[in-house]
Structure 1
């Protein structure tokens, strides 16, 4: 099983390759800020299944979440901060290599990124699909490297 570096490399390869392909074929053309956010979500998705254990991957994952959550609080985006906090608690519910290492978790864990903004902010769900897809792709790369398929 790869460590956090292997999962980050796998996620980066999957995310950058997919994004490059989408841009190359003119299917999706994000601005640079959105492209960086999408790659970041792929990397976070690639680490998520292992954040239920004490590891360097867990430390990195939660360090990023602390910075993002603090930025949201400073900006006064309390609802987004609450959504992030809720999602950050999810790995604590269960054992390692339990539910976080399943195909259905790969699809369900990122869903709050779509459902909550649609519900709380009336954001069109279509605008959120690239972010959902990026997180699922990163999660998929983790499960693939752990040979869960």
Structure 2
């Protein structure tokens, strides 16, 4: 099983291939800032399944979580910060290679990326949220694939 560096490399490869394909098929515009943000979500997805155990991947994931949460608090987005804090507590509830290493978690875990904006703000264009959901899911898929969960 790869460590966090292997999962980051796998997430980078799969995310890069997905982004390239999305640009080639016209599903994503060649916007470097957007692609960088999507790759960030992809890498977060690639690390997420191992947040259920003490690891360097967990430490990196929660460092990013804490920075984003602090940014939300400083910007006075307290509802978003509370949701992020709540969601960050869920992985340690299970055992390692438990629920975080399942195909259904790959689809369910990133759902707040779509549901929270839709419920709280009802934006006229949901496409960016779908793109970020897809990026996180692609990264999550790369993790499960590298861990041999699809045999």
If the TM-score is normalised by the length of the shorter chain, which range does it land in?
over 0.9
Unaligned runs of 5+ in 2: none
Deviation at 1:148, TM superposition (A): 0.3
Deviation at 1:119, TM superposition (A): 0.7
Aligned twin of 1:85: 85
Structure 2 CA distance for partners of 1:56 and 1:136, relative to 1, 3 Å: same
> TM-score, normalization: structure 2?
0.92
C-alpha distance in structure 2 between counterparts of 1:35 and 1:21, whole Å: 12
The Cα RMSD (Å) is 1.3
C-alpha distance in structure 2 between counterparts of 1:55 and 1:137, whole Å: 21
Aligned twin of 2:135: 134
C-alpha distance in structure 2 between counterparts of 1:49 and 1:59, whole Å: 13
Q: How many residues align?
A: 149
Deviation at 1:52, TM superposition (A): 0.9
> TM-score, normalization: structure 1?
0.94
Secondary structure of 1:76's counterpart equals coil
Contact 2:53–2:92 (Cα < 8 Å) also in 1: no
Contact 1:87–1:112 (Cα < 8 Å) also in 2: no
Q: Which region of structure 1 is more displaced relative to structure 2, 121-130 or 90-99?
A: 121-130
Unaligned runs of 5+ in 1: none
Moved over 4 A (4+): none
Q: Deviations over 1:93-122 (max 9, x none)?
A: 211101100000000000011111111111
1:27 pairs with 2:31: no
